[in-house]
């Protein structure tokens, strides 16, 4: 069955160009010219991936991303003319899976789309997908994070990063290792992506327990530390 892509883009020329190439690549394509319609289609059509512009009428891309993350885990690739670091960080913090700046090469965009889908559609592994620590439950089957008895809304990539670190307590990972193993070796981002997600996780987790913590190993990377201070 063909994968379904939703394009949320108010520039008709860009939207049609994306539709043409995605259909040639075997996708079924839906289009929305404003953010409100984009949210409605994401909810009703349940696409496999969303290509989301930021500067949109009715609802901007930030709001659309937030609303979609409120009811679905489908991957989101942000499309924007803005290239500043703060815009990339904002997109990642709201749960976007990747980010590409206009103007872009169609081949690069398609490569990113397939990379994101490979990461999210990977085969299930025969290993525990639910981890428990003091006052912490990480359930990757249901994508639920329970902190001190309370479910905490957490974007999918934050969940995957935390689960990956906590699956190997006290092991130190470099940023590049985490990009390779959590985002995929063909991810087009940089190590700042990891730092952003760690920062957001710490806001949810710091001070909850003295039996574990997300620790920065300066000059190296990060680890989920257990059994120390």
Per-residue tens of pLDDT for the chain, all 229 residues:
678 999 999 999 999 999 999 998 889 999 999 999 999 999 999 999 999 998 899 999 989 999 999 898 899 998 877 666 666 667 777 778 888 888 888 888 888 888 888 777 655 455 568 999 999 999 988 889 999 999 998 888 899 999 999 998 998 998 888 887 888 755 556 678 899 999 999 999 989 999 999 999 998 899 999 985 4
**Domain boundary residue among 120, 153, 171?**
120
Kindly state whether residues 151 and 88 are assigned to the same domain: no
Contacts of residue 105, defined as CB under 8 A and 6 or more positions apart, other chains included, come to none
Kindly state whether residues 105 and 64 are assigned to the same domain: yes
The pLDDT of residue 229: 46
Kindly state whether residues 10 and 116 are assigned to the same domain: yes
Kindly state whether residues 55 and 160 are assigned to the same domain: no
Q: Is residue 125 part of a domain?
A: no
Kindly state whether residues 27 and 93 are assigned to the same domain: yes
Q: Structurally, how many domains does the chain consist of?
A: 2
Contacts of residue 28, defined as CB under 8 A and 6 or more positions apart, other chains included, come to 2, 3, 4, 5
Kindly state whether residues 14 and 112 are assigned to the same domain: yes
CATH of the domain at 70: 3.40.50.2300
CA-to-CA dists, residue 13 to 10, 20, 33, angstroms: 9, 11, 11
The pLDDT of residue 121: 67
**Domain boundary residue among 60, 87, 120?**
120
What is the domain extent for residue 64?
Answer: 4-120
Q: Is this structure's pTM higher than 0.75?
A: no
**Domain boundary residue among 120, 149, 170?**
120
Q: Is residue 60 part of a domain?
A: yes
């Amino acid at each position: 069955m063909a994968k379904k892509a939703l394009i949320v883009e108010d520039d008709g020329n860009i939207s049609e160009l994306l539709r043409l190439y995605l259909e040639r690549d075997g996708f079924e394509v839906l289009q929305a010219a404003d953010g409100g319609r984009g949210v409605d289609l994401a909810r009703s059509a349940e696409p496999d991936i969303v290509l989301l512009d930021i500067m949109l009428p009715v609802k901007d891309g930030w709001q659309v991303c937030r609303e979609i993350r409120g009811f679905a885990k489908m991957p989101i690739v942000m499309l924007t003319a803005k290239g500043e670091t703060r815009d990339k960080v904002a997109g990642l913090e709201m749960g976007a899976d990747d980010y590409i700046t206009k103007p872009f090469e169609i081949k690069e965009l398609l490569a990113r789309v397939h990379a994101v889908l490979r990461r999210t559609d990977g085969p299930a592994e025969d290993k525990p997908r639910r981890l428990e620590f003091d006052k912490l439950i990480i359930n990757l089957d249901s994508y639920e994070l329970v902190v001190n008895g309370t479910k905490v809304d957490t974007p999918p990539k934050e969940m995957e990063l935390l689960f990956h670190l906590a699956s190997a307590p006290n092991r130190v990972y470099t940023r590049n290792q985490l990009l390779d193993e959590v985002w995929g070796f063909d991810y087009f981002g940089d190590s700042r992506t990891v730092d952003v997600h760690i920062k957001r996780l710490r806001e949810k987790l710091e001070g909850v327990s003295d039996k574990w913590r997300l620790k920065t190993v300066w000059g190296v990377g990060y680890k989920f530390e257990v059994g120390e201070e």
